[in-house]
Amino acid sequence: MEPTIYLFFDGTCREAMTRYAEVLGGEVLSIVRNADAPDADSRMPGGDDLVMNMSIRLGSATVMGSDAPAEMYDRPQGFRVQIAPASRAEFDRILAALSEEALAIDMPPGETFWAERFAMFTDRFGTPWMMNYEGSKASQEVL
């Protein structure tokens, strides 16, 4: 069994998840909109354009998400989606794309004792990210 990240959005699910797939080299697997529900009783409040469920494939991982009705939406907290780009150039490209119009830069990109490049931010869709490129520090054991 493998865990699956499931993200909630405040009406921006389709835009956010499509952006993540584009930036991270993934693909959109499915989108189920409120309007796709068989009847009104099966729909969530908030309108036909809301996404009930969407999934994208990023490498071997599936990331899922949906829009939350306004009265049920809480900004994510207590976790981060962590990614580890394979190169410094890839780190910089992904960081620039995902942090565009960021709600917060929680830790600006920089070197740490465990990584050549590390950053934490909350993107414009409210998703908290953590990026880590170990580079030459990958062989160091930190206990």
Give the CATH number for residue 132.
3.30.720.110
Long-range CB pairs of 1-5, under 8 A, 24+ apart, other chains included: 2/61, 4/61, 4/62, 4/63, 4/64, 5/61, 5/63, 5/64, 5/81
143 has pLDDT over 60? no
Count Cβ atoms below 10 Å from residue 94 Cβ, excluding itself.
19
Q: 62, 4 in Cβ contact below 8 A?
A: yes
**Mean of pLDDT over the chain:** 93
Other Cβ atoms within 10 Å of 129 Cβ, number: 20
Whether residues 46 and 94 fall in one domain: no
Last residue of a domain, one of 72, 94, 116: 72
State which of 46, 72, 98 marks the end of a domain.
Answer: 72
Q: CB of 74 within 8 A of CB of 9?
A: no
On whether both 56 and 90 belong to a single domain, the answer is no
Give the CATH number for residue 12.
Answer: 3.30.720.100
Q: How many domains does the chain have?
A: 2
90 vs 46, which has greater pLDDT?
90
Q: Facing residues of 64 across strands? A: 6, 55
What's the predicted TM-score (pTM) here?
0.91
- 28 and 63 within one domain: yes
Q: Which domain holds residue 24?
A: 5-72
